[in-house]
Amino acid sequence: MSKKEKLMARLLSKPKDFTFEELTALLGYFDYEQTKLGKTSGSRVVFTNGDGDYIRLHKPHPRNILKPYQVEDVITALQERGLL
């Protein structure tokens, strides 16, 4: 099982400890890159790919663990695009 497949399986299991780094790595496999929303974006980030698709969310802080609703949102977004 590849790292990509392991991360996909982990995301789909909806763990309570899925980290922002794991999300960044997984989205990187689908050619998404993290960008800030502007000079004063704070914790808001956008993951975009070359096709103009994007996934927006707040970077978790102070801990690096995504909230359950964020995991659900990412799963929904990737399923809508046919990536999961």
Q: Could you tell me what percent of the chain has a pLDDT over 90?
A: 61
Q: Is the pLDDT of residue 42 over 90?
A: no
User: Helix crossing, 3-12 with 68-80: angle to 10°?
Assistant: 120
Q: What range does the domain containing 49 cover?
A: 3-80
> Total structural domains in the chain?
1
pTM of the model: 0.86
Read off the pLDDT of residues 43-77 as tens digits, 9 standing for 90 and up.
Answer: 788 999 878 888 988 888 888 999 999 999 999 99
CA angle centred on 65, ends 81 and 76, rounded to 5°: 20
**Which neighbouring-strand residues pair with 16?**
none
H-run or E-run covering 26: helix 20-29
- First and final C-alpha spacing in the chain: 16
What mean pLDDT is reported for the chain? Answer: 89
Report how far residue 63's alpha carbon sits from residue 48's, in angstroms, rounded to the nearest whole number. Answer: 24
